[in-house]
Amino acid sequence: MADVQLFKLIELGTLSLVNKIIIAPMCQYSATDAGEVTYWHEQQWANYALSGSGLCIVEATAVQDIGRISYADLGLWNDTQRDKIKVLLTQVKSISPMPFAVQLAHAGRKASSEKPWLVKGGRGQIPPNTEHGWQTVSASEVAFNATDVAPHALTIAEIQQIIQDFAKSAVRAVEAGFDLIEIHAAHGYLLHQFLSPLSNHRTDEYGGSFENRIRLTLDVFQAIQNAVPQGFPIGVRISATDWMDAEQSWNIESSVELSKALEQLKAVYIHVSSGGLHHQQDIQIGANYQVPFAQAIKQNVNIPVIAVGLITTPEQAESILQNQQADAIGLARAILYDPRWAWHAATRLGAKVAIAPQYLRSQPHGLKDLFQPFEPF
């Protein structure tokens, strides 16, 4: 295929990627109870590093212990977590030049959950005062569903502490060796809970008007920006819609305006997902189902937009880029299913992919120009 877009360079602020394939964050629910990396992360991150992708964004990593989705989530709320991640990142970066990012997150009312494969339906809250459970927090005392314990409505002082903890975790992320920070403002977690009027019933400066509801996300962005080295790249993942009644919920128009505000603050990209806020969401799921949201945002900002969601084939990904619906492609489950997705994409699209030199001789018979070795690093 002539002029393949998927394997062209892309700049995310000061960070240059060798292609537009981005491994999207995926919770592994495999950390210790102390929020520290385990052998699972060693093999997983090494696998990502050798995948031929342009960037890996590590799973949602909590900025507070009560901000974990589950008791088995990673954290960066203390220095021990940072130090163990630093050791692992140093090892991974010794075998591949692929940059690694981290997604900093707070789960809010969707915290204190069980590992999804242990629960029918994939999600179950663990009540406070039981093993692995704790009191959750949110914008308002509105539970995610009827079976959950209602969250504690954060005070202004507690909100300010969360903002500070995002900034402190960002500093640790830089110290650990991550190359980019993504702020998680999607999927019904805390920042999204403040964005949506369905979950935010506040009457102070963090609730009510659109400007007030986006305030926490912007405050977190600016706090991180002020804490990390100047020019360090920061991106944001958002849910473009709640998939609920558009007039009474977070919708694509809101997301466009938020993206414009984040661009003004020098965000280096917008990562466009959707949903996760309300248990009655009516998601119209199918191939490329979130791509129109990415396209709508791309038409209104001048920073890269990442499309994600049931993009599974190389031809799909290339078509999205060729049609200028997005600037890069986020892959999650497709990479879990096929860790060499980038290799196979290069084969089908007639492109080259950079890989570890130890694997060069694995090039299939009859293909002469599929692989090239990693650039020196």
Ramachandran bin of 340, using left for φ above 0, alpha for ψ from -120 to 50, beta for the remaining angles: alpha
CA distance 92 to 274: 31
The answer for residues whose C-beta is within 8 angstroms of residue 158's C-beta and 6 or more apart is: 137
Question: Residue 2 has what pLDDT?
Answer: 61
Each of the 377 residues of the chain gets a pLDDT tens digit; together they read 569 999 999 999 999 999 999 999 999 999 999 999 999 999 999 999 999 999 999 999 999 999 999 999 999 999 999 999 999 999 999 999 999 999 999 999 999 999 999 998 777 899 999 999 999 999 999 999 989 999 999 999 999 999 999 999 999 999 999 999 999 999 999 999 999 999 999 999 999 999 999 999 999 999 999 999 999 999 999 999 999 986 789 999 999 999 999 999 999 999 999 999 999 898 989 999 999 999 999 999 999 999 999 999 999 999 999 999 999 999 999 999 999 999 999 999 999 999 999 999 999 998 889 999 998 88
Q: Which residues are catalytic?
A: 189
Question: Residue 123 has what pLDDT?
Answer: 77
CATH class entry, domain 10-373:
alpha beta
CA distance 157 to 90: 37
Round to the nearest angstrom and report the end-to-end CA distance of the chain: 29
Tens of pLDDT, residue by residue over 313-342, are: 999 999 999 999 999 999 999 999 999 999
CA distance 371 to 343: 8
CA distance 333 to 372: 26
Tens of pLDDT, residue by residue over 78-99, are: 999 999 999 999 999 999 999 9
Pair of tokens at residue 353 = 């992919």
